[in-house]
Amino acid sequence: MRRITVKELISWKQQQLSKGGDDQSFSFLLDSVGGVSSSEINLLKTNSRDNLYLKRNLSFLESIWEDHLLSASPIQHLCGITFWRDLKLEVSNKVLIPRPETELIVDIVFEIFGRESQKLLFAELGTGSGAISIALALAYPLWEGIATDIDQEALRIASKNFINTSNQSNLNFYFGHWWNPLENFKGKLDLAISNPPYIPGDIYEKLPKEVKNFEPKIALFGGEDGLKHIREIIQGAPLFLKEKGWLILENHYDQGEKVKQLLIKNRFTLVEILNDFSGIGRFTIGRYK
Binding site for ligand GLN (CB under 6 A): 96, 99, 195-199, 211, 220, 250
Q: How far apart are CA 175 and CA 151, in angstroms?
A: 7
The CB-of-183 to ligand GLN minimum distance in angstroms stands at 24
What is the DSSP-derived secondary structure letter of residue 177? Answer: S
Nearest to 261 by CA among 244, 236, 286: 286
The C-alpha atoms of residue 248 and residue 236 are separated, in whole angstroms, by 14
**Given the complex with ligand GLN, which of 58 and 203 has the nearer CB atom?**
203
Per the CB < 8 A criterion, the answer to whether 193 and 122 are in contact is yes
Q: Closest approach of Cβ 123 to ligand GLN, in Å?
A: 17
Residue 96 CB, shortest distance to ligand GLN, in Å, is 6
What span, in angstroms and rounded, lies between the C-alpha atoms of 111 and 99? 20
CB neighbour list of residue 202: distance below 8 Å, 6 or more residues apart? none
Residue among 223 and 238 whose Cβ is closer to ligand GLN = 223
Q: Is the Cα dihedral 44, 99, 185, 274 positive or negative?
A: positive
Least gap, CB of 9 to ligand GLN (angstroms): 32
* CB nearer ligand GLN, residue 195 or residue 284: 195
Q: Which residue in 209, 206, 249 sits closest to 227, CA to CA?
A: 249
Q: Which is nearer to ligand GLN, 143 or 178 (CB)?
A: 178
CB of 253 to ligand GLN, least distance (A): 9
In the complex, least distance from residue 153 CB atom to ligand GLN, rounded to whole angstroms: 18
Nearest residue (CB) to ligand GLN, 143 versus 204 = 204
Which C-beta is closer to ligand GLN: that of 10 or that of 211? 211
Minimum CB separation of residue 134 from ligand GLN in Å reads 17
Torsion of the alpha carbons at 284, 177, 183 and 269, rounded to the nearest 10: 10
Beta-carbon contacts of 209 under 8 Å, excluding residues fewer than 6 positions away, are 72
Residue 123 near residue 146 (C-beta atoms within 8 A): yes
* Cβ nearer to ligand GLN, comparing 16 with 161: 161
Distance (Å, whole) CA 101 – CA 98: 9
In the complex, what is the shortest distance from the CB of residue 211 to ligand GLN, in angstroms, rounded to a whole number? 6
Q: Describe the crossing of helices 131-139 and 152-165 by its angle, rounded to 10 degrees.
A: 30
Rg (CA), the chain: 21
By the 8 A CB rule, do 8 and 50 touch?
A: no
For ligand GLN, give the closer residue by CB, 149 or 250.
250
DSSP symbol at 221:
B
